[in-house]
Chain A
C-alpha cells in the first residue's frame, strides 16, 4: 500500500526527478483543501494525488502548476469520476445554476431542461463506448464552474444541430445578422425591414464581411454572446476602457459601412437614409440590450 505522495511521485515524471518538500507540502495542502470543502465525499488520498499528477504538464515545473489548480474543484471532479452518487448529487446541486444559465443562452425552446439534464448527466458522469465520462477530462485549469458551462453549452449545441461533428467550425456572418435582425420590436422598423429587407441585409453583411476578423470577434463577443466589457478585456489582455473604445469604433464602422452600402443599393434621399440609419443604429443598441436579457423563459 503506497502513500499519496508515492503515487504522486510515481505518476508525475518531473516530480520523480526532483521530489521537493515544498511539493509534498503542496500536495498535502491540496488534499486538505479538498476534504475541507467536501467532507462527506469519499476520495482516497492516493486517487486524488494520482489525478493531480495527471493534471501536470511534464515540460514545466510542477509546483507553480500545482498552486494554480483549484483543489476543491478537482477533488469534486475526482469524486464524481469514481461514480459516487453522493458526489454526483453534490455536483449537480452546486452547479445547477451554471448549467441553467448556459442553457438559457441557447435560446432553444425545444430543448426540455429535464431531457437535457439527462443527456448532460450521461456525458459528464457515464460516457459511452467512444468517450469516457467528461468529468475525467477536467484538469483543474480554471474553475470547474466555467468548465461545466462550456460543456453544457457544447452539449446543447450538438443536440440542436442533430449531432453534427463539432469541427463543423467556420460559419459566416449570418448569425450576427440574424441577431441584429430578428423579432421586430416596433412596427416602423418592421415596415422598413420588409421594405428594404434585402438591401439592408446585404449592406449589413457586406460591411460585416469587410471588418477585420478581430473586430468581428469583438462585435460577436459583445452583441451575440453578451459578454460584459471586462470579460472581453480579459480575453484580449487589455484594459476594459480600451475594449469600450474599440467597440465604439467597430460599431461606428458597421453603421457607416452599412449606410454607405445601403445608399449604393437604394435610391433614397440622404434624409430618408438618415432616418433609416437612425433606426438601424438604435436597433444595434436594442440588440445589445436584448443580448443581456434572459432569452428563454
Chain B
C-alpha cells in the first residue's frame, strides 16, 4: 500500500474514514515508521499542552485573559465555566486519566501571591492530604490539589445541580424541608470536623444539591489550603478599609489571606482569632436562620454594625416568623451565640437539636426512610437520563440493546453462527451502540458499557465453569478470550489467559469486521453449544455439530470426550478417531489469532491435566533437584502420531514460559512438544536449558546433545551444551563445542573460549 497523503492521515486520526480504509491505514502504520509518526502528529489533541508539558508557556493561562474552554490545567481540560467564586472561577473539566468530568476551581493568583513557591507547594501537599481524608456523602470530594501556570487549582467532584442559595430562591420551602437539607449539610461538616478540618467559609453558596436531592458541602477547608498566612502567623483582623468595597456576602481576602464571608463569619473569626469548628457552627446557623426566616439574623450595613448586633444578640425581625417551631428557633439561636462556649459543643449536638421532633419516631422509621430515599434517588436518576434524550434516539438505543441481548442469548457473543457468518453478534451490536452520535450518544455509551460488563461477566462465568472440568479448559480459554474482547481489563480472564495486546486487538478486529475464517467458526461452534444452560439442549447442539461437515477438529473432539465422558460421547456420535482432513488441532483449539497458533491460548489448551501424559520412564534422579517430579522422556512417545505444527507451537510456548522463569510449565510444554515430534530440536534444547537452570547438568547435557544431533548447525545449542559441559568440568568438550559454535557464527562463543583458556592457562589459538 502506498503511503496515505496528509489529508487522509488527518481523516484517519479523526475518524472520518470507513472501516476498511481505517484498517488498511492502521496496518500500514504498523509497518511504516514515517506514516506512524505522521498519524501520531495528527492524533495529538493539543500540541502545546500535552506534548510539550506544562512548563511551556501556554495560551491564556499565562496572560491576563481568563482561561476557558480547551485550556489545560494540570492534567485536566477545561470545559465550561460553571461560576465565579470568591477565590476564583469554577470550571467543568475533563480528567482524561480517569475518564470523568470534574469541577476545577482555579484560584485567582492574588489569593496566593503572598506565599513563596515552596511554601505554597508544601502547604498544598499537606492540605490535599487532609482534604482527601474527608470522604463523606455530604461533602464534595476533593480529588486533587496542585499548581499549573503559577496558579493553584483544586479538582473536585462535579456536582450537577444547584446551590443551596438557588434552591432557596426557587420556591418557598417548608421549614421541615429546609431542616432536612441542613441536617445533611451538618453531617458533612461533622465529618470534616472529625478529620480536623474547619470549613471557615460555610454559606448557602457553598452547599450544593444535586438532581437526586443529595446535599453536599463544597469548598471544604479551601480557605485554609490556599489562604492563611504563612508560618503560623495569626490571620490579621479584618479592617473596615479592607472590605470597604466588598459586599458582606462575598468571600473576602486581605493581603492574600482568605477570611471568609463577613455576613456568615463568627465574631471570633472577625477578630482574627484562631478559628475552630464552632465558627463553622455559627456560619451554619446564620445560613439556617436566613433560610428559615428569609433574612439574616443580624442586620448591619458594615462589619462594625454587624459585630455590634451579634454582641447585643439583636436578631433582625424575622420576615416569616410564623411557621418555624419554637424548638427549632431555639436551636438556631444557640448556635448564634457571641461566645463560642455558649454554642453547642459540636455539630453532632446541633444536629440532634435540629431533629428533636423526630427522636421518637426515628428508631423504627430510619430503615424505611433510608430505603425510600434510595428508591427516590434512583428514580430521579433514571428520569434525568431519559429527559436529556429524544424519544427516537432512546428507542434506537433500546432496540440495539435488545438486539445485543438477543444475540448473546444465542451465545453469539463474538463469533457469528457458521451457517450465517454475517449475522450481527452481540459484540457488533455493542460497537454500534458505541458508534452512535447525536442526542442518544450518552445513553448509548452508558448502555454499551453496561452490556460490555454484563457479557464479559457471562463469558467469564462460562469460562470458570469449564476451566475446572477435565477437558473443559480448552473451551474456557475461548470464553475468557471472548470476555476480554468485551472487557479487555477483566481481571480473572486476563489472569487466566495471557493475550498480548496485539493478539487481543486482532481478535477484536476480526470480531468487529466479522472476518473469521470458516475454520475458525467451525472451531468456535462448540462454544455456542456448550453455553447452553440445560444438558439436553447442550447435547443436542453438540450432536448437530457432529452431524454437519466439517466436523470439529481432533483436539476439540478429544476435549469434548474428556468433558462428557466416553459414554456420552458415543451416544452423541462423537468419534474420536482421527477422521478426514480437518483444521490443525492447534488452530482448532484457539481460534484467537490471525494465522499462527497462539502461544498463550495453546498454553492453556494443551498443558493441561486433560491431555493424557505418556507413560513415565523413571528419570535419573539428580541430587538436590526436583527434576524427577513431572518427568518423562521423549522416547516413550515414539509411537504417538507426530504433529509438527503442534510440536512447534508447544515448543514456542515452552520458550515463552522459560523466558518468564516458569520452569515447570516450560518443561511440560517441551515434553508435550517431544511427544508430537520426538526430534524437535527447539524442545530438546529447551529442556536442556530447563535442566541447566535447575543445575541438573548431566540431564542438561543429555538433552543438549540430542538437540545438537537434531540440529548440528545450530550454534546456540552448542553454546548451551558447552556451558553444561563446563559446569561438570568437562572443559575440553566445552571448548570443542564453543569453537564449533564460533565457527557457526556465534560471536558470543568467543568470550567463553577466552574464559576457558584463561581457566586452563592455555593460549587461545587465533
Contact = CB atoms under 8 A, between A and B. Distances in A.
Contacts of A98: 47
A234 B500 CA distance: 19
B14 interface: yes
A147 B6 contact: yes
Contacts of B37: 153, 157, 224-225
Interface residues of A, number: 71
B44 A250 contact: no
Contacts of B43: 146, 221, 227, 231-232, 234-235
B7 A214 contact: no
Contact of A240 (B7, B53, B99, B660): B99
Contact of B748 (A157, A169, A264): A264
Interface string B7-30: 111110111100000000011011
Which 3 A/B pairs are nearest by Cβ-Cβ distance? A212-B502, A225-B40, A246-B501
Contacts of B751: 267
Given A146-B13, A245-B488, A230 B96 contact: yes
Contacts of A212: 500-503
B34 A169 contact: yes
Contact of A215 (B44, B53, B502): B502
Contact of B45 (A220, A228, A260): A228
A257 B655 CA distance: 11
Contact of B38 (A150, A199, A218): A150
A292 B51 contact: yes
A102 B47 CA distance: 8
B203 to A, nearest CB: 37
B34 A292 contact: no
Given A146-B14, A241-B99, A253-B500, A267 B755 contact: yes
B45 A230 contact: yes
Given A212-B502, A212-B503, A225-B36, A150 B10 contact: yes
Given A101-B51, A169-B3, A267-B752, A216 B10 contact: no
A240 B52 contact: no
Contacts of A147: 6-7, 10, 42
Contacts of A151: 6
B505 interface: yes
A29 interface: no
A169 to B, nearest CB: 5
Interface in B41-66: 41-45, 47-48, 50-53, 55-56
A107 to B, nearest CB: 12
Interface in A226-264: 226-232, 234-236, 238-242, 245-246, 249-250, 253, 256-257, 260, 264
Contacts of B38: 150, 153-154
A245 B41 contact: no
Contacts of B273: none
B595 interface: no
B59 to A, nearest CB: 9
Contacts of B36: 217, 220-221, 225
Given A141-B8, A169-B34, A238-B505, 9 more contacts: A146-B14, A149-B41, A168-B34, A169-B35, A213-B31, A217-B29, A238-B508, A246-B488, A257-B659
A226 to B, nearest CB: 6
Contacts of A93: none
Contacts of B500: 212, 215, 249-250, 253
B368 interface: no
Given A214-B30, A221-B40, A226-B51, A141 B16 contact: yes
B5 interface: yes
A68 B16 CA distance: 9
Contacts of A211: 502
6 contacts: A97-B47, A141-B11, A212-B503, A220-B36, A230-B45, A240-B99
Contacts of A102: 41, 47
A250 B16 CA distance: 29
B577 interface: no
Nearest to B47: A101
A225 to B, nearest CB: 3
Contacts of A170: 31-33
B177 interface: no
Contacts of B283: none
B96 A137 contact: no
A293 B502 contact: no
Chain B: interface residue count, which band? 35 or more
Contacts of B51: 101, 104-105, 226, 292
A167 B3 contact: yes
A170 B34 CA distance: 8
A215 to B, nearest CB: 5
A138 interface: yes
Contacts of B505: 214, 236, 238
B602 to A, nearest CB: 16
Given A213-B502, A294-B52, A149 B489 contact: no
Nearest to B58: A97
B501 A250 contact: yes
Contacts of B104: none
A143 interface: yes
A162 interface: no
Contacts of A166: 3, 34
Nearest to A143: B14
Interface in B141-166: none
A244 to B, nearest CB: 9
B2 interface: yes
Contact of A175 (B33, B50, B748): B33
A141 B30 contact: no
A39 B50 CA distance: 31
Contacts of A154: 6, 38
A23 interface: no
B88 interface: no
A250 B502 CA distance: 9
Nearest to A101: B47
A188 B493 CA distance: 41
A269 to B, nearest CB: 14
Nearest to B723: A267
Nearest to A252: B660
A191 interface: no
Contacts of B207: none
Contacts of A9: none
B39 interface: yes
A113 to B, nearest CB: 15
A167 B42 contact: no
Highest count of chain A CB atoms <10 Å: which of B3, B33, B50, B716: B33
A241 B7 contact: no
Contacts of A3: none
Interface string A158-175: 000000001111110001
Interface string B506-518: 1010000000000
Given A150-B42, A231-B43, A240-B99, A249 B13 contact: no
A213 B47 CA distance: 26
Given A153-B37, A227-B44, A169 B755 contact: no
A101 B52 contact: yes
A221 B501 CA distance: 14
A265 interface: yes
Contacts of B56: 294
B111 to A, nearest CB: 30
Interface string A197-209: 0010000000000
B18 to A, nearest CB: 9
Nearest to B502: A212
A214 B40 CA distance: 14
A195 to B, nearest CB: 13
A212 B759 CA distance: 42
Contact of B30 (A105, A199, A216, A224): A216
Contact of A149 (B14, B42, B488): B42
A149 B38 CA distance: 9
